[in-house]
Amino acid sequence: MRSDFRLLRGARQLVARLPLPRFVRVPDAPTQPVRDPWPGDINLGVRLLKGELEFGGGNLVLRAGGWNGLKGSGPLLTYAHGFTWLRHLRALGTDPARLLARGLASDWMASSPSDPIARRPDVAGARIAAWLGHYDFFAATADDPFRQRLMARLVSDARGLSAALPAEELDARALTALKGLIAAAVALPEHNGFLIRALRFLPREVGRQVLPDGSHVERSPAAQLTALQDMTEIRALLQAGQTQPPPILARTIEQMTPALRAMRHGDGGLALFNGSREETSSLIDLVLTQAGRGSRAPSSLTEGGFQRLQAGRTVLIVDAGAPPPPDIDRTAHAGTLSMELSVGRDRMIVNVGGFPAGGPQWHDAARATAAHSTLVIGDLNSSELLENSLGRRPVSVTVQRQEANGAHWLEATHDGWRKPFGAIHRRRLYLSESGEDIRGEDVIEAESPQPFTLRFHLHPSVQASLQQDGAAVLMRLRSGGGWILRADTTNLTLEESIYLGSGEVRKTEQVVLTGREGGPQHVKWAIHKVG
């Protein structure tokens, strides 16, 4: 049945890629204006003028005549062919920026890139939305031949995208594909089939993408942000086209807003779980504003699997859920029961973060359990890392939570090491009502003792030093506050680490607690404010 569906879709796409029939009308310009609602970065626009495209910590050379020779990681090429970087040139707003945008689009159409990534539904959707969203910037004042070629390509790509639906990608990329087709439907209302087909699949896709508590199904703060951006754009596009959005869209946006708030630290950026980076707080604020007021951040995302403990100025966020299921685990990390800790606007304990544009070695290193602030047994990941998915993974993740007089207790377990070691990892956490006393206990429940390492990765802004003959670590935050980390029954060391959360590779440190050979299978630790 699935193979028959793929054959039918392949046939539709083949027909859609044929030259436009004479009876297909290509308008001279978009009938309805479409505007990209998200801000660009002037600095990235300046770099584009120099031929440098930056995304996710990676770079590639982007110049006229080079579309079929682009070299880079999959996410970087996805970004390049999706043209969302046009917003950076628009932010720059100069004539050279306008002419570069026009030249690169013209060259892309002339070269018709052969890379399959360029034809993927989500990439085509992003490109259609970007070309239409910045049409007034780079195309409205162009000569007639350019505008005619651009409009013809928009119609052709929209036909191909319509034929490709429903998108085979089951994660958030499917929303981007739908957004592109809806943008084309609004800007080109004479092609009413685009809207009919998009609205056929939109309600089902929205329902599949978002869990009942408002968490995105990928369990990634980054995917949460991107999906909410796409949904608010889709709602705005439908309203601009005087089409009533399906009721599920408004309900889902309202559910996603507080869930996104729960994934933010005190500095306004995102927690670093499952391939996420901090992102700019101003962008997140704008997305939340566009989405609507929503309610305050919940303390627990039951279906999404995140727990947020907050007291005083302290925020503790824990990944206490099972990894996303197969087919939507492309960005999933082996970070079950990892935690992040911030005080005010200062991040203290972090995960390494995601490096979407890095090569395979960077990609795998960032996904490993050792790149997260949690326990590792025998240097083996808690989930098996495959190229674009997970293999062995935790099946059972349990959570119990209590609150009293402003203090929080959390106990969680996962069985990711049951098959290789017959082991269960149990993590207990306590946050005092003042937020200035955090205590934890990590336990391995197994018939035979297992070697383990417990890691606390520090944000690069933290200055750390060993104290008390190596029995504790003093951590100085950027704001000047001091915190002490102590532990028992283990060897405590301060080692090198890296941080990818800000979009570049930054050196930092990590506190490492190593269980002694044949020693206790648990470690108690505490972090409290000093001075």
Mean pLDDT score, 9-38? 69
Mean pLDDT score, 71-97? 94
d(C-alpha 63, C-alpha 56), whole Å: 19
213 contacts: CB under 8 Å, gap ≥ 6: 255, 259, 298, 301, 302, 303, 304
Cis peptide leading into residue 166 (ω within 30°): yes
- H helix runs in 377-472, sequence order: 418-421
Looking at residue 20, its pLDDT comes to 56
Looking at residue 2, its pLDDT comes to 46
Looking at residue 470, its pLDDT comes to 82
What token pair was written down for 422?
Answer: 């017959």
Looking at residue 418, its pLDDT comes to 95
Looking at residue 153, its pLDDT comes to 95
pLDDT tens, position by position, 150-205: 999 999 999 999 999 987 777 889 999 999 999 999 999 988 899 999 999 999 99
The number of helices, as runs of H, and strands, as runs of E, in the chain is 16, 19
Return the axis-axis angle of helices 144-164 and 192-209, rounded to nearest 10°: 50
484 contacts: CB under 8 Å, gap ≥ 6: 467, 472, 473, 474, 475, 527, 528, 530
pLDDT of 355 over the 90 cut: no
Mean pLDDT score, 400-427? 96
Looking at residue 124, its pLDDT comes to 96
126, 86 contact by CB (below 8 A): no
Q: Does 123 or 364 have the greater pLDDT score?
A: 123
d(C-alpha 270, C-alpha 261), whole Å: 9
Question: Dihedral through CA 354, CA 524, CA 446, CA 320, nearest 10?
Answer: -40
Give the length of the chain.
Answer: 531
State how beta strands 452-458 and 346-350 pair.
antiparallel
What sign does the CA torsion over 341, 343, 345, 347 have? Answer: negative
Tell me the one-letter amino acid at 257.
T
Looking at residue 168, its pLDDT comes to 74
Looking at residue 19, its pLDDT comes to 55
Q: Does 450 or 267 have the greater pLDDT score?
A: 267
Residue 5: pLDDT band by 50, 70, 90 thresholds? very low
Looking at residue 15, its pLDDT comes to 43
Chain centre to alpha carbon of residue 51: 26
Instruction: Indicate the SS3 state at residue 188.
Output: coil
Looking at residue 17, its pLDDT comes to 53
Looking at residue 18, its pLDDT comes to 47
pLDDT of 361 over the 80 cut: no
DSSP state of 292: -
Least confident of 11-20, 127-136, 253-262, 462-471: 11-20
364, 390 contact by CB (below 8 A): no
Residue 517: pLDDT band by 50, 70, 90 thresholds? low
pLDDT of 70 over the 60 cut: yes
β-partners of residue 46 are none
530, 474 contact by CB (below 8 A): yes
What token pair was written down for 425?
Answer: 């990892």
pLDDT of 437 over the 70 cut: yes
State how beta strands 397-404 and 375-377 pair.
unpaired
Looking at residue 387, its pLDDT comes to 85
Looking at residue 518, its pLDDT comes to 73
Angle at alpha carbon of residue 402, lines to 397 and 407, rounded to 5°: 125
Instruction: Indicate the SS3 state at residue 253.
Output: helix
Closest CA to 314 of 402, 219, 430, 428: 430
Closest CA to 172 of 78, 300, 264, 80: 78
pLDDT of 233 over the 90 cut: yes
* DSSP annotation string for 295-356: -PPPSEETTTTEEEEEETTEEEEEE-SPPPPTTS-TT--S-TT-EEEEETTEEEEE-----T
pLDDT tens, position by position, 405-418: 999 999 999 999 99
Question: Dihedral through CA 333, CA 339, CA 340, CA 341, nearest 10?
Answer: 180
- H helix runs in 188-220, sequence order: 192-209
d(C-alpha 311, C-alpha 485), whole Å: 18
pLDDT of 281 over the 50 cut: yes
pLDDT tens, position by position, 197-216: 999 999 999 999 999 999 99
Residue 503: pLDDT band by 50, 70, 90 thresholds? confident
pLDDT > 70: what percent of the chain?
A: 95
- Calculate the average pLDDT of the chain: 91
* Ordered structural domains, the chain, with CATH: 301-530 (2.70.98.70)
Mean pLDDT score, 478-490? 90
Closest CA to 503 of 353, 347, 330: 353
What token pair was written down for 72?
Answer: 């880079």
d(C-alpha 101, C-alpha 105), whole Å: 6
Q: How many CA atoms lie within 13 A of 7 on its CB side?
A: 4
Looking at residue 24, its pLDDT comes to 62
d(C-alpha 423, C-alpha 470), whole Å: 30
Helix (H) / strand (E) element for 109: namely: helix 95-111
Helix (H) / strand (E) element for 129: namely: helix 121-133
β-partners of residue 137 are none
Mean pLDDT score, 322-348? 95
pLDDT of 428 over the 70 cut: yes
d(C-alpha 211, C-alpha 302), whole Å: 9
Closest CA to 87 of 285, 229, 244, 294: 229
Mean pLDDT score, 66-85? 90
pLDDT of 23 over the 60 cut: no
Looking at residue 4, its pLDDT comes to 46
Secondary-structure breakdown of the chain: helix, strand, coil percentages, each rounded to the nearest 5:
35, 25, 40
299, 399 contact by CB (below 8 A): no
d(C-alpha 17, C-alpha 114), whole Å: 13
Looking at residue 8, its pLDDT comes to 45
